[in-house]
Structure 1
Amino acid sequence: MQELINIVKNFKNKKILVVGDLMLDEYILGSVERISPEAPIPILDVKEIKYIPGGAANNANNIKSLGGEVILTGIIGAEDKGKLLKEILEKRGINTQGVFVDQTRKTTVKTRIVARDQQMVRVDSEDRNPIAPETENKILEFINGQIKGVNAVIISDYAKGVITPSLSRNIIELAKASNVLSLVDPKGKDYLKYKNCDIITPNQKELGEALNLEINNESQFSQAGRMLLSHVFCDNVIVKRGGKGIFLFGKEGNSFSFPAVNKLPKDVSGAGDTAVAAFALALASGADFKQTIIIASYACGVAVGKVGTDVVLPEELVESLKNNFTDES
């Protein structure tokens, strides 16, 4: 266990570059005591409105909160919600030099309406068209100037248009040339744009969609994981399985799984971003894949115990390991 704790304590010495779809998560929190006379729907009595970085911004937020240094690049719109997202990131000490304003697009905002810790509805405001070539070039130029000073790069793809096939391939090539670890948090069906990345981290649903396969049992799951390895020509596939934990498929035929730590989650939104942040920091800190998956599992366990796309602090992660992990786990 002490070795795992030492790895977490070393997060503060690592720098991660995150590129992808930036989002603002809006939480409208309150209680429901009445039904509307206008329609058979509940009336929310609003108590609080919270704004939290989402998507790739949540990846960056998690890296920062876990103790690492982070450089973030992507786009926001010119409206107030975009400005608010950038302000929140800067207040949290996240480097936003690579966050560019695109006058032609709106900031992705996901609004969740929550009553007594129970989500009632989600409202999305977003653009999903690919970014313009000149915007892509601006992001790539920024990455080219930063890549040699980081320990890992995370491509955080939410299919909102930032991670185009050409941008993804160029980032992976830059990372390879600079001997920098590349991790992809994927979305959509075009996984060839992630070809030759070091690690790809789909959830189980995304794994099936990528291969156009149904995954209804462990045999089908194992087959799909191995197929994705050969399809994308990556070194490792790490699958986030929610309540079933995290599973590694390695190109050498090795595999490892670790069960979910928190069996009674309050809010799973953003947990995948927490896992990817922990993967990157742990591997950059010298952890092997078994240690990496254990650390990420405990980080997710802390994250889903909170309501809202919230962060995990290194002391919370260490405390969870101390209280729950044994060498026989």
Structure 2
Amino acid sequence: MGRDTADLVKRLAGRRILVIGDMVADIYIDGRISRISREAPVLVLEQAGEKIVAGGAANVAHNAQTLGGSVYAVGLLGEDAAAQGLADILAEKGVQTAGLFRDAARPTISKTRIIAGGRATVSQQIVRLDKESHAPLRRETEGEMLRYLDEILPQMEGIVLSDYGAGTITEAVKDKLIGYAREHGLPSIVDSRYDIRRFRDIGYVKQNDAELSAAVGRELPDEATLMAAGRELLAELSADGVLVTRGEHGMMLFSRDGTVTDIPVSDRSEVYDVSGAGDTCVATVILALAAGIEAPEAARLSNVASGIAVRKLGTATVSAAELSRALDAQGDVAD
């Protein structure tokens, strides 16, 4: 049965969402080609611009806010320009940033892309520099984070754990959040790039097909093997659902009751950039679940939102107005 799409998107508005995880600053340095260096056979670039974009868990928070949520971001930043840039981006959009703790002993996680171009050449990325600390979270910092979670969790309607492998989500933090969500019936979702098996008893799991393949330790060359892997991960984690994103093949939702929902791509127009589309997906799903929308329909909404994100360059956000227009363009989302 169809729903009025404007009403559907309105239901996402104001939902209080906790987004915790590895906050990443995506930094883009734009350089104009000047000449070839005399020191080495490399380009000399004159810096023409620099911008910081929210990445990682920060991009999930950014997307959930622009889609209409009321978002509380929790993570770790350094004492550097990247940290200030991220905090400013999120605060400007209305994200609550009191949970962004600072540690001068470690840098803000950053991915710096050097973009080279000129008047007669196409701009393109020529190198990426990554910066992050591999040291465990300090006990004092973890304690501050846990105390802050105790303070805000009673206000939350949904929880996102965004794990990019940088160690923000410690075992104590993970156990607290999953336990709280189960005890209080809160929807929760995890997006973990490298170690999804840590998150047993989580509500929902988001994985792309490559991550799912790594999680089960084997190739998934066809739909039959992917179906088996999705069911295997669902059972192992005792989750309510596993949502697998499959690029041009859409999404597949494996539910605890045994049903599998196949969701085709919503828009086959040109894809410009898949960066951050998974973050848009997660943000949409948690808002929809927090609004009481059933998981298959939440997944369909996220599929439409992700389709908007991939047609934008870089780690992009999707607004509630854009989502409404896209839903209207394709008709009501069906149950």
What TM-score do you get using the length of structure 2 for normalisation?
0.90
Q: Which of 309, 314, 322 lines up with 1:316 in the alignment?
A: 322
Q: For residue 296 of structure 1, what is the aligned residue in structure 2? A: 302
Distance 2:292 2:186 in 1: 13
Q: CA deviation at 1:223?
A: 0.9
Please give the residue correspondences for 1:7-156 in structure 2 after superposition, counting only pairs within 5 Å: 7-29=8-30, 41=42, 46-114=47-115, 116=122, 118-156=124-162
> After superposition, what is the alpha-carbon deviation per residue over 1:259-289, rounded to whole angstroms, capped at 9, x for unaligned?
2234422111111100000000111122222
Distance 1:328 1:284 in 2: 19
- What is the one-letter code of the residue matched to 1:136? E
Q: CA deviation at 1:40?
A: 5.3
Q: CA deviation at 1:326?
A: 6.0
CA contact (8 A) 1:169 1:193 kept: no
CA contact (8 A) 2:301 2:333 kept: no
Distance 2:229 2:300 in 1: 22
CA contact (8 A) 2:197 2:215 kept: no
> After superposition, what is the alpha-carbon deviation per residue over 1:268-323, rounded to whole angstroms, capped at 9, x for unaligned?
11111000000001111222222112211111111111112121111111111112
CA RMSD of aligned residues (A): 2.3
Q: For residue 313 of structure 2, what is the aligned residue in structure 1? A: 307
Over 3 Å counting, the alpha-carbon distance change for 1:117 and 1:240 in structure 2 is farther
Q: CA deviation at 1:47?
A: 4.0
> After superposition, what is the alpha-carbon deviation per residue over 1:198-256, rounded to whole angstroms, capped at 9, x for unaligned?
10111111111112121121111111101101111111000122222111011111011
Q: CA deviation at 1:13?
A: 2.8
Over 3 Å counting, the alpha-carbon distance change for 1:46 and 1:79 in structure 2 is closer
Q: CA deviation at 1:17?
A: 0.5
SS for the counterpart of 2:12 is helix
Distance 1:238 1:217 in 2: 17
- What is the one-letter code of the residue matched to 1:145? E
- What is the one-letter code of the residue matched to 2:80? E
Please give the residue correspondences for 1:204-215 in structure 2 after superposition, counting only pairs within 5 Å: 204-215=209-220
Q: Which of 253, 258, 266 lines up with 2:263 in the alignment?
A: 258
> After superposition, what is the alpha-carbon deviation per residue over 1:148-207, rounded to whole angstroms, capped at 9, x for unaligned?
211100011010111123321221002222221111111223x34211011011111111
Q: CA deviation at 1:59?
A: 0.6
CA contact (8 A) 1:274 1:311 kept: yes
CA contact (8 A) 1:55 1:158 kept: yes
Unaligned 5+ residue runs, structure 1? Answer: none
- The percentage of counterpart residues that share the same residue type is 35
Distance 1:22 1:88 in 2: 12
Over 3 Å counting, the alpha-carbon distance change for 1:327 and 1:99 in structure 2 is closer
Q: For residue 221 of structure 2, what is the aligned residue in structure 1? A: 216
Greater CA drift, 272-281 or 100-109: 100-109
What TM-score do you get using the length of structure 1 for normalisation?
0.92
Please give the residue correspondences for 1:163-178 in structure 2 after superposition, counting only pairs within 5 Å: 163-178=169-184
Distance 1:199 1:327 in 2: 21
Over 3 Å counting, the alpha-carbon distance change for 1:89 and 1:230 in structure 2 is same
SS for the counterpart of 2:128 is strand
Distance 2:40 2:99 in 1: 46
Unaligned 5+ residue runs, structure 2? Answer: none
Give the number of equivalent residue pairs: 328
